[in-house]
C-alpha cells in the first residue's frame, strides 16, 4: 500500500527527495501544494517536473478521509464533521468560530481534532471513553481534520480535545503538531495549539522537552485521588500531586501556563466543599482552572449541575484566589462540544 505523504515530516520528505537526486526545496513545494493550495493529487502540482509527479504518485498518496456527514449550528458558529476512516470507523472534528468582538479582538477559528478512534481511558462521563478503544490515528489523519476546514476559512487555533487521548498516541500527535506549526506547513502560531490530556506523566515530560510553546490542559475532574480514580478508571495510579508537579515542570520548560479542566457532574464533584479542597490543593501555583459543566451523553445517569451550582463552585474557587472560568458553550444544539463526540451523531439523522 502507498504511504501517506503527511505521515512523513518535512525533513524526512526532504531526505527522501535527496535519495531521488531531487533538491530538498521540492519537499517544501509539495507541502505547500498539499496543505495550503488544497491539491488533491500530485498531478495538480504543476511546478514539479512531470516525471517527479508520477514518481510521487507511485509511492505516496495525499488523499483525505471523505466526510460522511456535517452539522452546523443555527448561528453558523459551530460546524461538526464526521470523517470516514474506512472499515466502519469514523471520527469527528469540530470547528468553532469566534467573530471579532467589541474590543476588536481578532476573529478566531478553532478546530477541535481527534487523535484516536475511541479511547482506552474510559472516563465515565465521556462518550468516547464509553465506546472503548479501536485504534490510533495516523499523523496524516490528524492533519486531514485541519485540512478539511482550512478550505473554508483560515484556522487560528487547534485544540487536541476531540476523541481520544493525544498523549497515548504521541508520535502521530507530534508529527501532526509539526505540520501545523511549521512555516512550510500550516504556519499556525505555536501559542494557538493546545493539547488536552488526562494526565500521562511521562509523555507530558517528553512534550516539555520538544522546544514547543504549545498550551497544555490537564483534565483533573476531582479534588482527591479516590474520586479521580472513579471518574477516570484507566489512567494508572497517578496522583493529583504528581500531576501538579509535572504540570509545573511543563510550565517552567515552556513558559506556558497550565490549564486544569474540571468537568462538573451534579452531586459527584460539584459541591462547594469540593471546590474548597480543590482550591487548597492548587493554591500557590500560577495555573488556570476551566470548569466544564457536564454535557449529558446518552446511556448513563450522570447529570449537569444547575447554573447556580456552577456559579457557587466558581465563586468558591475565586474567593480562594484561583484563576477560574467556566467554558463557553458552543453549538450546543448540535452537541458539538468537544469531548462528546460521534455517538450521538450516528443516531441522529438531522443533517445539513
Ligand atoms: N483525552 C483528553 C482530550 C479529549 S477530551 C482529555 O481527557 O483531556 C477533552 C475534554 O472534554 C476533557 O477535559 C474531557 O474531560 C472533557 N469531556 C469529555 N466528555 C465530557 C462531557 N460529557 N462533558 C463535559 N466535558 C467532557
Ligand atoms: Fe479518553 Fe479524554 Fe474521554 Fe477520558 S475524557 S475517555 S481520556 S477522550
CATH number of the structural domain spanning residue 30:
1.10.150.530
- In terms of Cβ atoms closer than 10 Å to its own Cβ (0-12, 13-18, 19+), residue 248 is middle
Give yes or no for residue 333 having a pLDDT over 80: no
Q: What is the mean pLDDT of the chain?
A: 90
Pick from 105-114, 291-300, 326-335: least confident: 326-335
77 & 127 share domain: yes
Report CA(259)–ligand 1 centroid distance (Å): 13
Grid look-up 490543593 returns 281
What digits encode the pLDDT tens for the residues 128-179?
A: 998 899 999 999 999 999 999 997 778 999 999 999 999 999 999 999 999 9
Report the pLDDT value the prediction gives residue 346, as an integer from 0 to 100: 44
What atom of ligand 2 comes closest to residue 232's alpha carbon? 4
30 & 130 share domain: no
pTM of the model: 0.94
* Domain limits for position 45: 3-61
In the listed set 18, 42, 61, which residue is the last one of a domain according to the structure? 61
15 & 148 share domain: no
Report CA(127)–ligand 2 centroid distance (Å): 8
260 lines ligand 1 (CB under 6 A): no
Average pLDDT over residues 205-233: 97
Q: Where are the beta strands (DSSP E) in the chain?
A: 3-4, 60-61, 67-72, 78-86, 89-98, 108-112, 116-118, 133-136, 157-160, 193-197, 215-219, 259-264, 288-293, 324-326
112 is known as an active-site residue: no
Number of structural domains found in the chain:
2
Percent of the chain residues past pLDDT 90, beyond the cut:
79
> What DSSP letter does each residue of 247-309 carry, written as one string?
HHHHHHHH----EEEEEE-TTTT--HHHHHHHHHHHTTS--EEEEEE----TTS---PPPHHH
In the listed set 61, 80, 109, which residue is the last one of a domain according to the structure? 61
Average pLDDT over residues 334-347: 48
56 & 71 share domain: no
343 lines ligand 1 (CB under 6 A): no
Alpha-carbon gap, residue 142 to 185, rounded angstroms:
14
182 & 261 share domain: yes
261 lines ligand 1 (CB under 6 A): yes
What digits encode the pLDDT tens for the residues 92-112?
A: 999 988 766 555 556 789 999
Average pLDDT over residues 190-209: 97
Cell of 36: 495550503
In the listed set 61, 90, 107, which residue is the last one of a domain according to the structure? 61
160 & 24 share domain: no
Percent of the chain residues past pLDDT 70, beyond the cut:
90
Report CA(339)–ligand 1 centroid distance (Å): 4
In angstroms, how far apart are the furthest CA atoms of the chain? 69
33 & 164 share domain: no
CATH number of the domain enclosing 113 = 3.20.20.70
Report the pLDDT value the prediction gives residue 101, as an integer from 0 to 100: 55
DSSP conformational letter for 322: -
Give yes or no for residue 280 having a pLDDT over 80: yes
71 & 57 share domain: no
Q: Taking a C-beta distance cutoff of 8 angstroms, is the pair 188, 153 a contact?
A: no
Give yes or no for residue 56 having a pLDDT over 70: yes
Amino acid at each position: 500500500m502507498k504511504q501517506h505523504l503527511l505521515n512523513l515530516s518535512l525533513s524526512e520528505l526532504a531526505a527522501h527527495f535527496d535519495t531521488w537526486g531531487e533538491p530538498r526545496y521540492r519537499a517544501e513545494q509539495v507541502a505547500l501544494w498539499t496543505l495550503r493550495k488544497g491539491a488533491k493529487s500530485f498531478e495538480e502540482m504543476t511546478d514539479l517536473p512531470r516525471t517527479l509527479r508520477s514518481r510521487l504518485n507511485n509511492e505516496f498518496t495525499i488523499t483525505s478521509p471523505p466526510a460522511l456527514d456535517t452539522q452546523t449550528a443555527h448561528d453558523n458558529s459551530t460546524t461538526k464533521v464526521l470523517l470516514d476512516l474506512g472499515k466502519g470507523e469514523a471520527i469527528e472534528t469540530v470547528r468553532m468560530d469566534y467573530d471579532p468582538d467589541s474590543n476588536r479582538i481578532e476573529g478566531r477559528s478553532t478546530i477541535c481534532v481527534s487523535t484516536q478512534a475511541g479511547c482506552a481511558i474510559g472516563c465515565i462521563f465521556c462518550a468516547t471513553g464509553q465506546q472503548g478503544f479501536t485504534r490510533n490515528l495516523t499523523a496524516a489523519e490528524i492533519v486531514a481534520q485541519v485540512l478539511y476546514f482550512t478550505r473554508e476559512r483560515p484556522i487560528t487555533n487547534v485544540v487536541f480535545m476531540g476523541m481520544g487521548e493525544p498523549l497515548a498516541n504521541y508520535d502521530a500527535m507530534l508529527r501532526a503538531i509539526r505540520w501545523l506549526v511549521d512555516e512550510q506547513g500550516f504556519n499556525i502560531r505555536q501559542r494557538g495549539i493546545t493539547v488536552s490530556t488526562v494526565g500521562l506523566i511521562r509523555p507530558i515530560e517528553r512534550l516539555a522537552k520538544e522546544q514547543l510553546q504549545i498550551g497544555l490542559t490537564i483534565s483533573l475532574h476531582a479534588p482527591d485521588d479516590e474520586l479521580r480514580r472513579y471518574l477516570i478508571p484507566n489512567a494508572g495510579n497517578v496522583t493529583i500531586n504528581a500531576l501538579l508537579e509535572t504540570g509545573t515542570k511543563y510550565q517552567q520548560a515552556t513558559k506556558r501556563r497550565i490549564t486544569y479542566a474540571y468537568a462538573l457532574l451534579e452531586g459527584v464533584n460539584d459541591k462547594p466543599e469540593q471546590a474548597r479542597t480543590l482550591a487548597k490543593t492548587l493554591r500557590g501555583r500560577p495555573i488556570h482552572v476551566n470548569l466544564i459543566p457536564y454535557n449529558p451523553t446518552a446511556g448513563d445517569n450522570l447529570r449537569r449541575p444547575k447554573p447556580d451550582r456552577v456559579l457557587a463552585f466558581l465563586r468558591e474557587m475565586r474567593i480562594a484566589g484561583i484563576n477560574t472560568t467556566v467554558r463557553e458553550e458552543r453549538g450546543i444544539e448540535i452537541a458539538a462540544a468537544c469531548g462528546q463526540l460521534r455517538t450521538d451523531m450516528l443516531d441522529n439523522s438531522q443533517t445539513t
